[in-house]
Amino acid sequence: MTTRIIGTGCYAPEHIVTNEDLTQFLDTSDEWIRERTGIHRRHIDTGEGTTAMAVKAAQRAIENANISPQSIDLIIVATSTADEIFPNTAAMVQKSIGNNHCTCYDLNAACSGFIYGLNTAHAFIKSGIVETALIVGSETMSKTVNWEDRSTCILFGDGAGAAVVTKDETGIESIVMGSDGSNGEIISCDGRIMENRWGKRPVKNSHMIMDGQEVFKFAVRKVPEAIKELLEQANIDADQIDHYLLHQANERILSSVAKRLHVSMERFPVNLSEYGNTSAASIPILLDEMNRKNILRRGEKMVLAGFGAGLTWGATLLTW
């Protein structure tokens, strides 16, 4: 018995910011951003927030799965940009979709969050604790980046993606997850400033800081390693995989990973040009787009793989 994805959904805010729009206030160019990243535009939240986007993606996934919201036993929302400290985002999604009994929690593994959520739900299902779970990746990255820092802000966008999974005969075949906190400073974002009367921490700005080149090196080394481990576990060759759905951070990272695995870039779908890096939302948005375009065929093999702040990484091999 394993875990199968039976429904997907996604949502992105209507407001679009093009590379050209960024040149109005940043020393950058459309050409530089396209060439170095593959990004043309991104959807930016103008006030809905992470929870509202999560709800829309979740509702679409539930509709696509054709299940009753009350049959969901577990909701995990992967986010590093929750609107509130508490209640957790998952509990607010639960309320909006019409479920009043299941287990709800948020999970922060930055851009690896959806994979961490999917693999965690799989562990719950495989152990018999739950039968059906909803995993959502929802992010308002636009509130974490410094819009005056051209080396980071150009990369990110906002959005949400979701998947409903349930117990089945076919589905997830192997999983890999890991973290290396010792190198976490290469991409980080401070949390809330300590605000009690005894606090000694100096007030710092809370924007994301990132050493882009180091993150790039980490991704092109770690992602192929994780995928190789995943394939070995399932005794499958890289060329037997029909689709590699990687976290959408930079098109050059995707092509480096494809090269290292000796797999054609044609098997690596890309939607970066439209959304930029939406962190935990990027993989489920891509998955939903492919599902709705009827690109995915029952029985096809897929690898999903994410990487991000932490540093964290995770991968899932499944039969669709």
Buried b (16+ CB within 10 A) or exposed e, 165-199: bbbbeebbbbbbbbbeeeeeebbebeeeeeeeeee
Q: Is residue 40 flagged as an active site residue?
A: no
Count of residues binding ligand COA (CB under 6 A)? Answer: 19
Q: Which of 82, 231, 249, 263 binds ligand COA (CB under 6 A)?
A: 249
Residue 36, token pair as written in the block: 């170095």
Nearest-approach distance from CB 60 to ligand COA, in angstroms? 25
Judge contact between 114 and 135, C-beta under 8 A. Answer: yes
Q: Is 319 within 8 Å of 300 (Cβ atoms)?
A: yes
Residue of 120, 166, 248, 250 interacting with ligand COA (CB under 6 A) = 250
Closest approach, Cβ 57 to ligand COA, in A, equals 20
Would you call 207 a catalytic residue per the annotation? no
CB of 91 to ligand COA, least distance (A): 27
Q: Indicate which residue of 64, 189, 247, 250 is catalytic.
A: 247
At 5, is the secondary structure helix, strand, or coil? strand
Q: Is 111 in the site for ligand COA (CB under 6 A)?
A: yes
278 binds ligand COA (CB under 6 A): no
- Residues numbered 116 to 155 that lie near ligand COA (CB under 6 A) are 150-151, 154-155
Residue 30 CB, nearest distance to ligand COA (Å)? Answer: 10
Angle between helices 50-65 and 282-292 (to 10 degrees): 30
CA separation for the pair 316, 305 (Å, rounded) = 6
Catalytic residue among 111, 119, 243, 250: 111
Among residues 19, 64, 119, 277, which one is catalytic? 277
Window of 31-39, 43-51, 78-86, 127-135 that interacts with ligand COA by CB under 6 A: 31-39
Residue with smallest beta-carbon separation from ligand COA: 212
Least separation in angstroms between residue 178's CB and ligand COA is 15
Binding of ligand COA by 224 (CB under 6 A)? no
Q: Which CB, 25 or 237, lies closer to ligand COA?
A: 25
111 included as an active-site residue: yes
- Residue 36: CB atoms within 10 A of its CB come to 16
Determine the Cα–Cα distance for residues 244 and 196; give it in Å rounded to an integer: 47
Phi-psi category of 171—alpha, beta or left, where left has phi over 0 and alpha has psi -120 to 50?
left
Please report, to the nearest 10 degrees, the dihedral formed by the alpha carbons of residues 13, 15, 20, 23 taken in order.
-90
- Please give the helix or strand (H or E) that residue 164 lies within, else none: strand 158-168
Give the interface with ligand COA as residue ranges (CB under 6 A): 28, 32-33, 36-37, 111, 150-151, 154-155, 210, 212-213, 215-216, 249-250, 277, 308
- Residues marked active site are found at 111, 247, 277
